[in-house]
Chain A
Amino acid sequence: MPDLLIELFSEEIPARMQARAADDLKKLVTNGLVEAGLTYASAAAFSTPRRLTLTIEGMLDASPSITEERKGPKADAPEKAIEGFLRGAGLTRDQLEKRETPKGNILFAMIKKPGRPAAEIVAEVLETTIRNFPWPKSMRWGTGSLRWVRPLHSILCILSAEDGAQVVPMNVDGIEAGATTRGHRFLAPDTITVSNFDDYAAKLKRAFVVLDPAERRDAIWHDATNMAFANGFEVVEDAGLLAEVAGLVEWPVVLMGRIGDAFLDLPPEVLQTSMKEHQKFFSVRNPKTGRIERFVTVANRTTADDGATILAGNEKVLSARLSDAKFFWENDLRIAKSDAGMQTWVDRLSNVTFHNKLGTQAELISRMEALAGELAPMVGADADEAREAARFAKADLSSEMVYEFPELQGLMGSYYAQAAGKSEAIAAAAQDHYAPLGPSDDVPTAPVSVAVALAEKIDKLTGFWAIDEKPTGSKDPFALRRAALGVIRILVENDLKLLLWGRLNSGFHEHFTRDQSMKIADSDEVFDKAIKALNLSPKTEQNIRRRISDDHREKAKAYLDGFRFVNTDDGMGKLVDTKTGETISDETLILEEDDLLSFLHDRLKVYLKDQGVRHDIIDACIAMEGNDDLTLLVKRAKALSETLKTDDGENLIQGFKRANNILSQAEEADGVEYSYGADIKFAETDEERALFAALDAAEAKINPAMAAQDFTDAMSAMASLRGPIDAFFDAVQVNSDNSTVRRNRLNLLSRIRTICSSVADLTKIDG
């Protein structure tokens, strides 16, 4: 049973691709071998910046020979048919077997497929793997046509057994497989010949290469934490950074350095981000001061001066980086604290496009301001404070720090708002209004943050709906599903009652009102078309472009997009489709709104499904009035879900459906609606009378419970009908020969329907 060792040695592989590539190598090679009949005992793959390695132990030395049985024609079939069969099987007539079967004498061919030596199969599989390797990005180099992540320099491929190692003969685009590799680029660059995996791993270690990324990771973390601890510090954990750093070195050497005193007052997030993004440094905290005061860097080598030169260089680079950060921070603070303050940044955002059909960031902010003010009283926030928070929530996008580190948006806004003397609620909203960023991210809870966060998301949803950029299939470039889930979670998790219907409408109105109307039809290309159509000389065209007023520009765009803006008596103006002459009316808005609400409902289904609420239950609740109050909708759905888990609840559905079916059939047959006038005096049986009583009792409970939106009470009252309804159906024939009795009973069923339907549309429940 030989072992197989493969190493693909290349120029530096991006750290983020290494782990996946090692897995892919293992999967592709082992699958290929097994498919060809070469089974094995175990396999493992490793990666370093310069190599992908696969070791396979206990592999067959050849694929087993197999005999394939093929059924042919009958022995007495025409000669031509038999000849055809022989050709296909590659045999002669005397090699066929004749067997008696219930269908007569049939000819069988036994085709022998001889096994193939492992080396032959390995060479084929490895070449296919190399040529079809699923790198996220690959390249060519020199004059060749082979693609690899970076130039591939050598292939080590040996089969080793007790009696020695054998190179698998193969050649991929001029690279001949061998039994050699190289050690560390600087510490041991010479060629190493290896005979098996253990020999390989041991020799690599002597040549300053730790093959296993997990071992490198552990060593880095161990050394870093020890070094920090010995100096009274602690390393800030960062698993992603650790994995990345382990992918940048073959021989990790941990070094700890100082952060200059001048930079210790920068916000810790700025220090951390700058060190991590630019330098791949770990942050090291002083637990006494709580500040980040040191850093850990991981070099790829030992040196005669124990890393002193390397550390000095790294400290110098960090100083330059942090000087930049400090410069940004101080400039930003100066603006935030100036008389004009953060408004300076908001004004600058009028030069920054949010989306070319939805206007600038500044326009987005003014829409958010209006919406946040409107939402404020509904979420318990002060309207003026919410408006101010919305106005400054995105101001930091103009700051130098966020320009340099976009991932600090929001956080910097919050620091700057504090510096500018804004209220804490406003500062918090600058950071929190982006939340939740994912299903596990916390939702904002402070009222002002909630108002701004909702305003941001509703504006986004209505805006992209208005320009018909809705998510389709897997495409959601503007993260609208995330925005919708954000709206849902903010409302439900804060237990907020908000009628979305009106709010979405406000959102759309913000987009369609006078100032925004043209933006919807906006597009520079359209404007270009208009100018081109005039066939001007380039010089004149340039002059026009430059001198034309914004107003003209907007009108030209709107006109060419097929819309015209018409002034109206009320001064609001309206948008008219120039082709049809139709006004873009409120109905258009309502249709969009309806569609958007359905989208939110779909997201809500996903959200509730994760919480174990069945999709038909949600449908039954969405079908009810007031479905634009998502918090109410969720309460209703959860109560119904709980009720249906009880025995009574489950069986009530059966009773309800039976009542509803009988009633619907009768109503269809009779052409009338039985909805009124069930009278206990026509009741003939005890069960019938008991049902009357039960319905009266349930109604007395359900109506006030529903009015108080206490779905649990309402539904338990509804579930209590299960017994009387079942008893009624067991004992009573609805379709009595007596037409008065029959009508009375149908009216009674109608009461069941009415009462149950006041809680949810139970016809939508499965089963």
Chain B
Amino acid sequence: MSDPVQRPRSFQEIILALQTYWARQGCAILQPYDMEVGAGTFHPATTLRSLGTNPWAAAYVQPSRRPTDGRYGENPNRLQHYYQYQVLIKPSPPNLQELYLGSLQAIGIDMALHDIRFVEDDWESPTLGAWGLGWEVWCDGMEVSQFTYFQQVGGHDCHPVSGELTYGLERLAMYVLGVDHVMDMPFNSPDAPIPLTYGDIFKQTEEEFARWNFDVANTEVLLDHFVEAENECNAILSQDALDPKTGKRIIMAHPAYDQCIKASHIFNLLDARGVISVTERQAYIGRVRTLAKACADAFVQTRAGGWTEDAA
């Protein structure tokens, strides 16, 4: 917290400042998960690692996709593809709030001039069978982060409890940089030989994906993909723990969870295409949740999930 407050001038500086800050707090700085997800929580480094008794501390940027939020790049702060910064520490340290405030300082928010508030906001993910209690953090009336103490994930009680921090990077950066429209935000340094704005990089992709998400995505194919992912997930988990080839105990929790992530994203796409009725919606969410729970059940049977030979 003793770093001098330096105002960042670009989106990437803010990301780098967060990376440096959380690395100094002892987090493993992971890379984004290489699949389409709706939020940083879906990264196995959060969903799966919050389960079981093994301690954990990780931070990472996660590109996130929410097809229904697409606005063809026109809305000043709504995007179908955006970045979240995610921190997960297990067990949650007693000074997690102070650590979090330190991170705001690290990205140039002067604590003496701003009004930071912790406003009740309980988190629940029906698709992950997960919930926790916490707050949305406000800076001068703007939500800049979600702060959650995980209580249950994949239907399992969290013991110990993980503390999860999620920063909506674009919104936070726009605030810090004083930019009104996301597309105008400097991505790299405005003084760079080739200065790039967020719009230079993402305006076109927002248009392209909005059109595809809303009007073109082939729903028949997507429906097939959903069922295929569901079947594959179940097929993976139905395998015997003992791998006949190596003779090792290999429970494939992560490959199964990849399929769960896939099903979840396909559901989001179908939702954006407007082909899912309200009743069906619940049913689809229930199907993804069933997969997430099965993956959680499998993960806690692995070493990373706290399983030991002795206990078994």
Chain A residues in the interface with B (C-beta under 8 A): 11-12, 14-16, 49, 137-143, 149-151, 153, 186, 248-249, 279, 281, 297, 299-301, 303-305, 309-310, 312-314, 316-318, 320, 323-324, 327, 351-353, 356, 524, 538-539, 542, 546
Can you list 29 residue pairs at the A/B interface with Cβ under 8 Å? A11-B118, A12-B120, A14-B120, A15-B120, A139-B149, A140-B151, A141-B92, A141-B163, A150-B133, A151-B149, A186-B116, A300-B117, A301-B115, A303-B115, A304-B113, A309-B114, A313-B140, A313-B142, A314-B141, A316-B180, A317-B141, A320-B77, A327-B75, A351-B277, A353-B277, A353-B279, A524-B280, A538-B227, A542-B227
For A15, what are the chain B residues with a Cβ–Cβ distance below 8 Å?
Answer: 119-120
Q: Does B94 contact A (CB under 8 A)?
A: yes
Q: Does B255 contact A (CB under 8 A)?
A: no
Q: Does B139 contact A (CB under 8 A)?
A: yes
Q: Does B223 contact A (CB under 8 A)?
A: yes
For A151, what are the chain B residues with a Cβ–Cβ distance below 8 Å?
Answer: 92, 94, 149
Given A142-B91, A142-B92, are A318 and B141 neighbors across the interface (CB < 8 Å)? yes
For A351, what are the chain B residues with a Cβ–Cβ distance below 8 Å?
Answer: 274, 277-278
Number of residues on chain B facing chain A (CB within 8 A): 47
- C-alpha gap A316/B224 in the complex (Å): 45
- C-alpha gap A14/B142 in the complex (Å): 18
- C-alpha gap A542/B92 in the complex (Å): 44
Evaluate contact between B277 and A11: CB separation under 8 angstroms: no
Nearest-Cβ distance from residue B266 to partner chain A, whole angstroms = 13
Given A142-B91, A546-B223, are A320 and B112 neighbors across the interface (CB < 8 Å)? no
The residue among A143, A318, A539 with the most chain B CB atoms within 10 A of its own CB is A143
For B75, what are the chain A residues with a Cβ–Cβ distance below 8 Å?
Answer: 324, 327
Nearest-Cβ distance from residue A594 to partner chain B, whole angstroms = 31
For B149, what are the chain A residues with a Cβ–Cβ distance below 8 Å?
Answer: 139-141, 150-151
Chain B 204-228, CB-CB to A under 8 Å as 1, else 0, gives: 0000000000000000100110010
Evaluate contact between B92 and A248: CB separation under 8 angstroms: no
Given A11-B118, A141-B149, are A297 and B279 neighbors across the interface (CB < 8 Å)? no
Pick the contact of A352 from B139, B142, B277, B283 — CB < 8 Å? Answer: B277
Q: Does B33 contact A (CB under 8 A)?
A: no
Pick the contact of A142 from B94, B139, B141, B180 — CB < 8 Å? Answer: B94
Chain B 276-300, CB-CB to A under 8 Å as 1, else 0, gives: 0111100100000000000000000
Q: Does B195 contact A (CB under 8 A)?
A: no
Evaluate contact between A538 and B231: CB separation under 8 angstroms: yes
- C-alpha gap A223/B279 in the complex (Å): 49
Evaluate contact between B175 and A313: CB separation under 8 angstroms: yes
Complex: chain A residue closest to B230, CB-CB: A538
Evaluate contact between A317 and B142: CB separation under 8 angstroms: yes
For A149, what are the chain B residues with a Cβ–Cβ distance below 8 Å?
Answer: 133
Complex: chain A residue closest to B111, CB-CB: A186
Given A320-B76, A352-B277, A538-B227, are A309 and B132 neighbors across the interface (CB < 8 Å)? no
Nearest-Cβ distance from residue B87 to partner chain A, whole angstroms = 16
Given A186-B116, A317-B140, A323-B76, are A142 and B133 neighbors across the interface (CB < 8 Å)? no
Nearest-Cβ distance from residue B158 to partner chain A, whole angstroms = 8
Evaluate contact between B113 and A309: CB separation under 8 angstroms: yes
Chain B 125-153, CB-CB to A under 8 Å as 1, else 0, gives: 00000001111000111100000010100
Evaluate contact between B175 and A153: CB separation under 8 angstroms: no
Complex: chain A residue closest to B157, CB-CB: A140
Chain B residues in the interface with A (C-beta under 8 A): 75-77, 91-94, 97, 111-120, 122, 132-135, 139-142, 149, 151, 158-161, 163, 175, 180, 220, 223-224, 227, 231, 274, 277-280, 283
- C-alpha gap A317/B138 in the complex (Å): 11
For A248, what are the chain B residues with a Cβ–Cβ distance below 8 Å?
Answer: 117, 119
- C-alpha gap A301/B224 in the complex (Å): 55
For B118, what are the chain A residues with a Cβ–Cβ distance below 8 Å?
Answer: 11-12, 49
- C-alpha gap A12/B134 in the complex (Å): 9
- C-alpha gap A60/B259 in the complex (Å): 66
Given A141-B149, A143-B91, A353-B279, are A542 and B115 neighbors across the interface (CB < 8 Å)? no
For A141, what are the chain B residues with a Cβ–Cβ distance below 8 Å?
Answer: 91-92, 149, 161, 163
- C-alpha gap A398/B149 in the complex (Å): 36
- C-alpha gap A576/B219 in the complex (Å): 37
- C-alpha gap A320/B182 in the complex (Å): 12
Nearest-Cβ distance from residue A183 to partner chain B, whole angstroms = 15
For A314, what are the chain B residues with a Cβ–Cβ distance below 8 Å?
Answer: 140-141
Evaluate contact between A313 and B117: CB separation under 8 angstroms: no
Evaluate contact between A299 and B115: CB separation under 8 angstroms: yes
Nearest-Cβ distance from residue B229 to partner chain A, whole angstroms = 12
Pick the contact of A546 from B93, B163, B220 — CB < 8 Å? Answer: B220
Pick the contact of B113 from A16, A303, A542 — CB < 8 Å? Answer: A303
- C-alpha gap A356/B279 in the complex (Å): 7
Pick the contact of B114 from A313, A320, A524 — CB < 8 Å? Answer: A313
The residue among A12, A314, A546 with the most chain B CB atoms within 10 A of its own CB is A12
Complex: chain B residue closest to A186, CB-CB: B111
For A539, what are the chain B residues with a Cβ–Cβ distance below 8 Å?
Answer: 224
For A309, what are the chain B residues with a Cβ–Cβ distance below 8 Å?
Answer: 113-114, 140
Evaluate contact between B277 and A313: CB separation under 8 angstroms: no
For A150, what are the chain B residues with a Cβ–Cβ distance below 8 Å?
Answer: 133-134, 149
Nearest-Cβ distance from residue A248 to partner chain B, whole angstroms = 6
For B116, what are the chain A residues with a Cβ–Cβ distance below 8 Å?
Answer: 186, 300
For B280, what are the chain A residues with a Cβ–Cβ distance below 8 Å?
Answer: 524
- C-alpha gap A553/B149 in the complex (Å): 45
- C-alpha gap A279/B75 in the complex (Å): 20
For B220, what are the chain A residues with a Cβ–Cβ distance below 8 Å?
Answer: 546
Counting from the closest, the 7 A-B pairs by CB-CB distance are: A313-B140, A14-B120, A12-B118, A314-B141, A299-B115, A143-B160, A317-B142
Nearest-Cβ distance from residue B238 to partner chain A, whole angstroms = 15
Known: A143-B91, A323-B76. 7 other contacts (CB 8 A): A139-B132, A141-B91, A150-B134, A151-B149, A303-B114, A524-B279, A542-B223
For A320, what are the chain B residues with a Cβ–Cβ distance below 8 Å?
Answer: 76-77
- C-alpha gap A756/B58 in the complex (Å): 85
Given A137-B133, A313-B139, are A305 and B113 neighbors across the interface (CB < 8 Å)? yes
The residue among B141, B159, B160, B280 with the most chain A CB atoms within 10 A of its own CB is B141
The residue among B113, B180, B223, B227 with the most chain A CB atoms within 10 A of its own CB is B113
Nearest-Cβ distance from residue B264 to partner chain A, whole angstroms = 18
- C-alpha gap A316/B114 in the complex (Å): 14
Nearest-Cβ distance from residue A598 to partner chain B, whole angstroms = 32
For A356, what are the chain B residues with a Cβ–Cβ distance below 8 Å?
Answer: 279
Nearest-Cβ distance from residue B190 to partner chain A, whole angstroms = 21
For A546, what are the chain B residues with a Cβ–Cβ distance below 8 Å?
Answer: 220, 223
- C-alpha gap A351/B274 in the complex (Å): 9
For A305, what are the chain B residues with a Cβ–Cβ distance below 8 Å?
Answer: 113
Evaluate contact between A279 and B278: CB separation under 8 angstroms: no
For A312, what are the chain B residues with a Cβ–Cβ distance below 8 Å?
Answer: 140
Pick the contact of B141 from A137, A138, A279, A323 — CB < 8 Å? Answer: A279
For A281, what are the chain B residues with a Cβ–Cβ distance below 8 Å?
Answer: 141
Nearest-Cβ distance from residue B129 to partner chain A, whole angstroms = 17
For B94, what are the chain A residues with a Cβ–Cβ distance below 8 Å?
Answer: 142, 151, 153
Evaluate contact between A297 and B141: CB separation under 8 angstroms: yes
Nearest-Cβ distance from residue A33 to partner chain B, whole angstroms = 30
Evaluate contact between B76 and A142: CB separation under 8 angstroms: no
Evaluate contact between B278 and A353: CB separation under 8 angstroms: yes
For B223, what are the chain A residues with a Cβ–Cβ distance below 8 Å?
Answer: 542, 546
Evaluate contact between A16 and B140: CB separation under 8 angstroms: no
Complex: chain B residue closest to A319, CB-CB: B180
- C-alpha gap A624/B20 in the complex (Å): 83
For B159, what are the chain A residues with a Cβ–Cβ distance below 8 Å?
Answer: 140
For A542, what are the chain B residues with a Cβ–Cβ distance below 8 Å?
Answer: 223-224, 227
For B133, what are the chain A residues with a Cβ–Cβ distance below 8 Å?
Answer: 137-139, 149-150
Nearest-Cβ distance from residue B47 to partner chain A, whole angstroms = 19
For B161, what are the chain A residues with a Cβ–Cβ distance below 8 Å?
Answer: 139-143
- C-alpha gap A539/B223 in the complex (Å): 10
Given A141-B161, A142-B91, A351-B274, are A304 and B77 neighbors across the interface (CB < 8 Å)? no
Complex: chain B residue closest to A17, CB-CB: B120
